[in-house]
Amino acid sequence: MKKNHANEYFEGFVFGMESACKAAEYLEDLVKHYDPEKLAAQIDEIHEIEHEADLNKHKLMHKLAKEFITPIEREDIILLLQQIDNVTDFIEDVVRKMFMFNAKHMRDEALEFATIIKQCCYESRDALKELPGFQKNSERLVEAIVKVNDFEEQGDRLYCAAMRRLYCENAESLERITWTKLFDWMEACCDACEDVMESVELVVMKNS
């Protein structure tokens, strides 16, 4: 198999995570300049990013269906494509839930969460860029995986603190419900990046 032919999958992984990075940047900016009156239009805008990611995934799945020889196992390609796509889907769903639950204002922790999600996406993208050459130089790959885990742990600590404050202060019941859902989903975005990195580690172990 020609090198560039095999690399199409690896490039597709990076492209998918680039879409997640764009979605994370969009989320951070939305939270920073939050205006509930703009949410309906912003759902459409972030969906364009998610749609771009879906097209990339479907193109590679179609390619995979026609090929017998692949650079890594078919099951690993399918798993990575789905998990990478999940990251963008989850970020888009944060915006959808802001609209669905009619979030009136942002809480301080939301911007911290959005920044952590963005950093998780950046490091996941950097790790995926190193995946094709992991057998020659895995140092940068391992470093990026560790950083994603670190950011995910930051997200866990922030989630715990944010939920504690939400339930200790005199917030209205509706606001508690809204932000319980939103914090749950923001944490899920970080977890989704960690899932991608766990699969990357598995690929490296299986092919070393």
The residue written with tokens 């993208």 in the block is: 125
Give the mean pLDDT of the chain. 91
Return the pLDDT at 3: 46
Task: Answer for the pair 49, 111: CB distance below 8 angstroms, yes or no.
Answer: no
> What's residue 2's pLDDT?
44
Which residue numbers in the chain have pLDDT < 70? 1-6, 134-137, 171, 208
Q: Can you say whether residue 103 is alpha, beta or left, with left for phi > 0 and alpha for psi between -120 and 50 degrees?
A: beta
Task: Check residue 1 and give its pLDDT.
Answer: 37
pLDDT in the model for residue 4: 54
pLDDT given at position 141 = 84
Q: Among positive and negative, which fits the CA dihedral 126, 17, 187, 198? A: negative
Tokens of 23: 């979605």
CA distance 153 to 150: 5
